[in-house]
C-alpha cells in the first residue's frame, strides 16, 4: 500500500480524488477515518446553522481538475447560463444541496468506498520505509486530514447547545459569539419568531468571509512563507478573528428586530438572568491548535516536531519538514495546515495540500 489518508472528511475526499486522478488505484490507497460518508461532519454543521448556500464560489469543489467548476456543472445540468453569468462577477455561491450532490458523485466515481476503513487512528510513527499508522504499514506516504479538534464550548454556559449541533429555537434565545455562525443564528432565531439576545464582549468585525485574495496568489503566498514565524502566527491569528460580512442582508433584519424590541446586545448573560427557559446557543467555533488533537499532539511529542504557538511548522507544500524526503511524505491538510496555507480550512485549501501531496507521491510512482 503506497498511501494512507488519516481522517475521512472533505479534505480527505479532495485528496483521494486527486490521487486517483494522478493514476493511483484504490488498492494503493487506504483511507482510515471515523466517517464513511466524507460529507457527514461538515453537512451536520452546515445544516445546524441552516446554511443553504456555499460560502465558496464555483471553484469550491472536490474534483481533481480545476475545470469544470460548480458553475459550469450547474449551467450544463440546468441548461441555463445564469450560474456562468453570476460566477463571471464572483457572485456564484452554489447551493449546499448542489455541492453535496457533487461530493456524492466524486465519492462514487473515484471508488472512495473501496479504500475506506473505519478507524480512529491514535498513533502515526516515522519508521524505515515511511510511517506506521496504529502499528500498520509502513506506508511511504501519509496525509493527515483530521479536521477541527472539536467544538469550543464556553465554560460559563455549561448547558448551551453549540451552533454546529442540530437544534431548534426556543422563544427566547441568547447567542454567544460574534462571528459568522453567531450572525447566522441571530437571523435564524429571529426568523423562527424568537426574541434574541446577542452576548458578545466586543463589536463584531465586519469583513468578507474568505481569506483575502492575496494569500491565494503566488506572490502573496511567497511573502507569507518568507515572513518570520512571529509575523506568520500574527497573520494567522488575525485571520481567525471572528467576523461576518458587511451588508444590508445582515443589518436590515437586525435593525427591524431591534425596533420591534426582539433583538438586543449584552456584554454578559446578566441581562438574561430573569428569562425563564432561555436557550443559550454557543456560536463559539472550534477548539484551536494541534494540542487539542490527540493524534497530532502525540506525533509532535514523539518526533519533537517544530511548532510555533498553536501551529505545527510545515513546509510551503504542507509537508512536515523533518519527516519528508525524496522517498517518503508526511503531509497535513485542513485547519492544521494553516502554517503552509492560511486558507487551509476551506475546500480550496484542501486541494492545495492534496495537489502538493500528489506531486510527491507521483514523483516516486
Ligand atoms: C458551517 C461551515 C460551513 C462551511 N462552509 C464552507 C464553504 O462554503 N466553502 C468552503 O470552502 N469551506 C467551508 N467551510 C470550511 C471547510 O470546508 C470545512 O471546515 C471542512 O469540513 C474541512 O474538511 P476536513 O476534512 O479538514 O475536516 P472534516 O470535514 O471535519 O473531516 C475530518 C474527519 O476526520 C475524522 N478524524 C479526526 N481525527 C481522526 C483520527 N484520529 N482518526 C481517524 N479519523 C479522524 C473526523 O472525525 C472527521 O470525520 C465551512 C465550515 C463550516 C463549519
The two beta strands, 141-144 and 3-6, are: parallel
Residue 271 has pLDDT above 80, yes or no: no
9 CA distance to ligand 1 centroid (A)?
5
pTM across the whole model: 0.97
Residues 77-105: pLDDT tens digits? 999 999 999 999 888 999 999 999 999 99
Mean pLDDT of the region 57-86: 92
Give the domain extent around 200.
161-204+242-282
- The CATH number of residue 297's host domain is 3.50.50.60
* Domain assignment present for 237: no
Question: Which of the pair, 217 or 328, is modelled with greater confidence?
Answer: 328
CA of 334, closest atom in ligand 1:
26
**What is the phi/psi pair of residue 198, to 5°?**
-95, 120
**Does 144 lie in the same domain as 10?**
yes
Question: Ligand 1 centroid vs 77 CA: distance in angstroms?
Answer: 27
286 band by pLDDT with thresholds 50, 70 and 90: very high
Residues 50 and 199 in one domain: no
Which atom of ligand 1 is nearest to 46's Cα? 1
> How much is the pLDDT for 292?
98
How many Å lie between the centroid of ligand 1 and the Cα of residue 18? 17
CA dihedral 185, 43, 205, 88 (to 10 degrees): -120
Rounded distance from Cα 258 to ligand 1 centre (Å): 35
Of 21-35, 125-139, 205-219, 252-266, the poorest mean pLDDT is in 205-219
Confidence of residue 275 (pLDDT cuts 50, 70, 90): low
Q: Rounded distance, CA 6 to CA 316, Å? A: 20
Q: Which is more confidently placed, 277 or 41?
A: 41
In this structure, the dihedral spanned by the alpha carbons of residues 103, 108, 110 and 113, taken in order and rounded to 10 degrees, is: 110
My answer on whether 61 and 10 are in the same domain is yes
For residue 161, the CA-to-ligand 1 centroid distance in Å is 20
How many A from CA of 11 to the centre of ligand 1?
A: 7
Interatomic CA distance for residues 7 and 347, integer angstroms: 15
Does 158 have pLDDT greater than 90? no
Q: Quick one: which atom of ligand 1 is closest to the CA of 294? A: 41
Domains identified in the chain, total number: 2
Residue 159 pLDDT level (bands cut at 50, 70, 90): confident
What integer best gives the mean pLDDT of the chain? 94
Q: So what's the pLDDT on residue 231?
A: 97
- Residue 178: the pLDDT is 93
For atom 35 of ligand 1, the residue with the nearest CA is 7
Q: Which of 149-158, 221-230, 286-295, 345-354 has the lowest mean pLDDT?
A: 149-158
Average pLDDT value for residue range 136-164: 95
> Do 132 and 186 belong to one domain?
no
Q: Quick check: is 80 in a domain?
A: yes
Pocket of ligand 1 (CB under 6 A): 6-12, 32-35, 41-42, 45-46, 49, 51, 54-56, 60, 119-121, 145-148, 295, 334, 345-348, 350
145 in the same domain as 9? yes
Amino acid at each position: 500500500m503506497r498511501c494512507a489518508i488519516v481522517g475521512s472528511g472533505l479534505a480527505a475526499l479532495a485528496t483521494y480524488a486527486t490521487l486517483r486522478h494522478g493514476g493511483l488505484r484504490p488498492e494503493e490507497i487506504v483511507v482510515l477515518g471515523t466517517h464513511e460518508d466524507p460529507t457527514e461532519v461538515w453537512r451536520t454543521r452546515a445544516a445546524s446553522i441552516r446554511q443553504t448556500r456555499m460560502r465558496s464560489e464555483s471553484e469550491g469543489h472536490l474534483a481533481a481538475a480545476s475545470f469544470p467548476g460548480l458553475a459550469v456543472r450547474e449551467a450544463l445540468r440546468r441548461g441555463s447560463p445564469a450560474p456562468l453569468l453570476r460566477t463571471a462577477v464572483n457572485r456564484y455561491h452554489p447551493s449546499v444541496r448542489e455541492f453535496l450532490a457533487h461530493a456524492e458523485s466524486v465519492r462514487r466515481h473515484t471508488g472512495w468506498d473501496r479504500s475506506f476503513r473505519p478507524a480512529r487512528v491514535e498513533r502515526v510513527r516515522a519508521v524505515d520505509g515511511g510511517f506506521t499508522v496504529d502499528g500498520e504499514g509502513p506506508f511511504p506516504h501519509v496525509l493527515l486530514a483530521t479536521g477541527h479538534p472539536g467544538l469550543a464550548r464556553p465554560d460559563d454556559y455549561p448547558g448551551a447547545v453549540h451552533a454546529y449541533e442540530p437544534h431548534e429555537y426556543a422563544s427566547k434565545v441568547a447567542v454567544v459569539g460574534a462571528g459568522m455562525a453567531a450572525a447566522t443564528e441571530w437571523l435564524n432565531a429571529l426568523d423562527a419568531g424568537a426574541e434574541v439576545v446577542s452576548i458578545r464582549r466586543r463589536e463584531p468585525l465586519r469583513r468578507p468571509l474568505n481569506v483575502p485574495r492575496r494569500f491565494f496568489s503566488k506572490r502573496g503566498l511567497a511573502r507569507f512563507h518568507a515572513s518570520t514565524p512571529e509575523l506568520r502566527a500574527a497573520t494567522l491569528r488575525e485571520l481567525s478573528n471572528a467576523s461576518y460580512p458587511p451588508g444590508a442582508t445582515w443589518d436590515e433584519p437586525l435593525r427591524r428586530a431591534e425596533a420591534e424590541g426582539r433583538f438586543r446586545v449584552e456584554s454578559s448573560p446578566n441581562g438574561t438572568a430573569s428569562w425563564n427557559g432561555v436557550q443559550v446557543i454557543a456560536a463559539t467555533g472550534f477548539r484551536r491548535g494541534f494540542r487539542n488533537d490527540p493524534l497530532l499532539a502525540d506525533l509532535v511529542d514523539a518526533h519533537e516536531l517544530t511548532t510555533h504557538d498553536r501551529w505545527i511548522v510545515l513546509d510551503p507544500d504542507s509537508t512536515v519538514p523533518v519527516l519528508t524526503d525524496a522517498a517518503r511524505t508526511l503531509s497535513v491538510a485542513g485547519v492544521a495546515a494553516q502554517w503552509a496555507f492560511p486558507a487551509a480550512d476551506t475546500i480550496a485549501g484542501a486541494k492545495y495540500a492534496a495537489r502538493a501531496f500528489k506531486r510527491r507521491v507521483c514523483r516516486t510512482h
